[in-house]
Amino acid sequence: MNIYLIRHGDAESMSLRIPDFERKLTLDGIDTITKAAEGWKKLIPEFDFIVSSNLVRAVQTSEIVKEVFGYKGEIIFDRCITSGDPKSVLELAVSLKGRNIAFVGHEPHFSRYTAEMISATEAYINFKKGMIAKIVFEGKKKVGAGELEFLIPAKAYK
């Protein structure tokens, strides 16, 4: 099983006028995610499932990924992405029974999820906006048992 963690693109700045959950991708964020997804398509044949946070910037990012990949399924929205618990993300992935599962979400969760999925001790990951991580699970699908195959910043595709 391959888990892909995708952090949303650049979004509007936080302000008193716009609640955090309503912040949208900027035009640059849309462009960057689109170009990055086109690059990812050269490495990833398809997604069996796309799971997203329900915050607007993550929804927009997952919709771009869906379009670029020609994904025909529905985007799944699940609170586990923002739970702070990598075990619940992994349990959802296992329950979906797919080979390639994309999760679209946020910091600080994705740095933690990546680190805990690949290491029984500690790892420091700085998960930038628009970044993608591929974590491969062979055999047991448990926290600490994954192998980080790649971690690619969006700027690699500019």
Residue 91's Cα: distance from chain center in Å? 16
- Two tokens, residue 103: 């999760």
* Nearest of 97, 44, 52 to residue 77 by alpha carbon: 52
pLDDT > 80? residue 42: yes
Where helices occur in the chain by DSSP H, the ranges are 27-40, 56-69, 86-96, 109-118
- The pTM (predicted TM-score) of the whole model is 0.94
How confident is the model at residue 27, as a pLDDT?
96
pLDDT digits (tens, 9 = 90+) for 80-103: 999 889 999 999 999 999 999 999
- Band the pLDDT of 72: cuts 50, 70, 90: very high
How confident is the model at residue 140, as a pLDDT?
85
Q: Determine contact, residues 6/103, Cβ cutoff 8 Å.
A: yes
Q: Tell me what the pLDDT averaged over the chain comes to.
A: 93
How confident is the model at residue 3, as a pLDDT?
98
pLDDT > 80? residue 19: no
How confident is the model at residue 137, as a pLDDT?
97
- Band the pLDDT of 53: cuts 50, 70, 90: very high
* Nearest of 99, 50, 116 to residue 78 by alpha carbon: 50
Half-sphere exposure of 42 (CA within 13 A, CB side): 6
* Nearest of 18, 104, 125 to residue 61 by alpha carbon: 104
Spatial strand order in the sheet of 49-52 = 76-77, 49-52, 100-105, 2-7, 132-136, 147-152
d(CA 117, CA 105): 16
pLDDT > 80? residue 20: no
> What is the fold, at CATH topology level, of the domain defined by 2-11+22-135?
Rossmann fold (3.40.50)
- Band the pLDDT of 158: cuts 50, 70, 90: confident
pLDDT digits (tens, 9 = 90+) for 120-146: 777 888 999 999 999 999 988 999 999
Residue ranges covered by each domain of the chain: 2-11+22-135
